[in-house]
Amino acid sequence: MNTLTPHSVSVITGGGRGIGRAVALRMALETAVIVVGRIEADLLSACAEIAAAGGQAVHVVGDVRDRETAQRAVALARAKGWTVRNLVCNAGIGKSGPFETFDPTLWQEILDVNLNGAFHFCQACLPEMLADGGTICLMSSIAGLKGYAHDAAYDASKHALVGLARSLAQEFGKRGISVVPICPGFVEGHMTERTVRGVMTRRGMTHEEATARVAHANPQRRIIPEAEIAEAVAFVCSGKVPSLSGNPLVLSGGE
């Protein structure tokens, strides 16, 4: 079980905007936060919002594909006297397209960001967690459990994160580390907006019609707010239900 202390820190990749920012704001109620991302202005804005709410946050600018970014995040935690207790691997990209003509370079980029980025951060943060336990949340997707046409690269990367979480849960469960793949459906934000615009193009729909079609994938007929995902992450990191480890936490309204 994860036991938080005043010196605990949560590391969140892709923490400058979207789901990552929502997670950072929520986790800042529990621990100090290190937000990681490529756009410094977004990270500074997230840190300022956390500070205004009375929390502690610092940032690391870098690409998760570069393992040195993960190493710098851990070094910053140590310099601050913080111990990494929670890691949220949220950074991700997606691009749709027919498989038979999909750009191999883009395929590799999606896997490098979504999967290899998580690998780098898990390896860097694990030594920090092994002494007292910790929690790793890998931000997968409902696309990590089922397939979608024209989304082979994204789906493959998200399925791989579920497999990674299951493997790490087996390997490190006896050492007090929980690893949970978070699998949301369509969430408010720029990635879902790209899906909406893709539907507009393929179906000749208006923005309103395409948004309704995407929302219809959720049995509750809505696109999920980012804050709901953040609450789920905070619950996992609370350590209240360690038996969640290795099991996909599906947030899709029953899809």
Query: Comparing C-alpha atoms, which of 6, 55, 5, 13 is closest to residue 233?
Result: 13
154 is catalytic: yes
End-to-end CA distance of the chain: 30
In this structure, are residues 238 and 27 in contact, taking their beta carbons and an 8 Å threshold? Answer: no
Alpha carbon distance 237, 28 (integer Å): 12
Q: By C-alpha distance, which of 19, 75, 29 is closest to 50?
A: 29
> Torsion over CA of 46, 48, 49 and 54, rounded to 10 degrees?
130
Nearest to 91 by CA among 121, 49, 127: 121
**Catalytic residue (choose from 154, 161, 164, 245):** 154
164 token code pair? 């990674």
Residues annotated catalytic, as ranges? 154
